[in-house]
Structure 1
Amino acid sequence: MSKSILVVDDDKEIAELIEVYLHNEGYTINKAQDGVQALNFLEKNQVDLIVLDVMMPKMDGLEFCKQVRKGNQVPILMVSAKVQDMDKIIGLMSGADDYMSKPFNPLELTARVKALLRRASYQQPAVENDRIQISSLEIDKHSHEVTANGRE
């Protein structure tokens, strides 16, 4: 099943460029032009990743990111013309998982999207139980002790 990506950017040319590259990788792309429109979309739809511009009308990317993080852990890749270290730090502190500066290489953006999706789908291995219970016997795998009815 194709992963769904929401591209939130008020610059239509950049949004279309992102769409072309990510669509060519097999992703389903939805677009919003500002944070308000994107929040409305997320109320009715689930996405696997968000590519987010910072500077937008109505609601900027930082505020949108904070709103999303109130109840959603979807990966967010922030893309912005703001390139100062402090801008990047603020973006990451607002809830973004990664930050790219504009102009960007579309192939790098694609690689970062793949990496974020890979990490998001990674499942921690189940924690193995340290004890085995067989009827009234309990075996501790680490100490190799056997307990019967609560006694060693």
Structure 2
Amino acid sequence: MKIVTIVGARPQFIKAGAISRAIKEFNRRSQIRRDKKKRIQEILVHTGQHYDYLMDKVFFEELKLPKPDYHLGVGSGSHAKQTGMMLENIEIVLKKENPKIVVVYGDTNSTLAGALAAAKLNIPVAHVEAGLRSYN
């Protein structure tokens, strides 16, 4: 099963890290059982909503998130401009990848654009909102 995960801001990287690790573990167990039909392919889309090192790359490094399959490079701008650019580019990615589900996190412009693009293409959306404890 192919899923597309959409992130763009710090809190999303943290939540996506937990889900990505769970997917990797699920796939590892599926491989042990030789059940390739149940493997999950995660396509990671980074909108670029947060784009400097301290709000972006450092989280990918520390959380061991895979390098995004797509980096939309949206950057700064008004909410409308940022969301519009994301919506346009996410739609292109979703049409190309044709996932079974789109996973979005939190309440950012990236969340809105990802959920809206998926809904308009009749792709189910999974919305993860709950925070995760860091224990620090």
TM-score range, shorter chain: 0.3 to 0.5
Q: Which is bigger in relative contact order (C-alpha 8 A, separation at least 6)?
A: 2
Normalised by the length of structure 1, the TM-score is 0.43
Larger Rg: 1
Normalised by the length of structure 2, the TM-score is 0.47
Q: Comparing both structures, which one devotes a greater share of its residues to helix?
A: 2
Q: Comparing both structures, which one devotes a greater share of its residues to strand?
A: 1
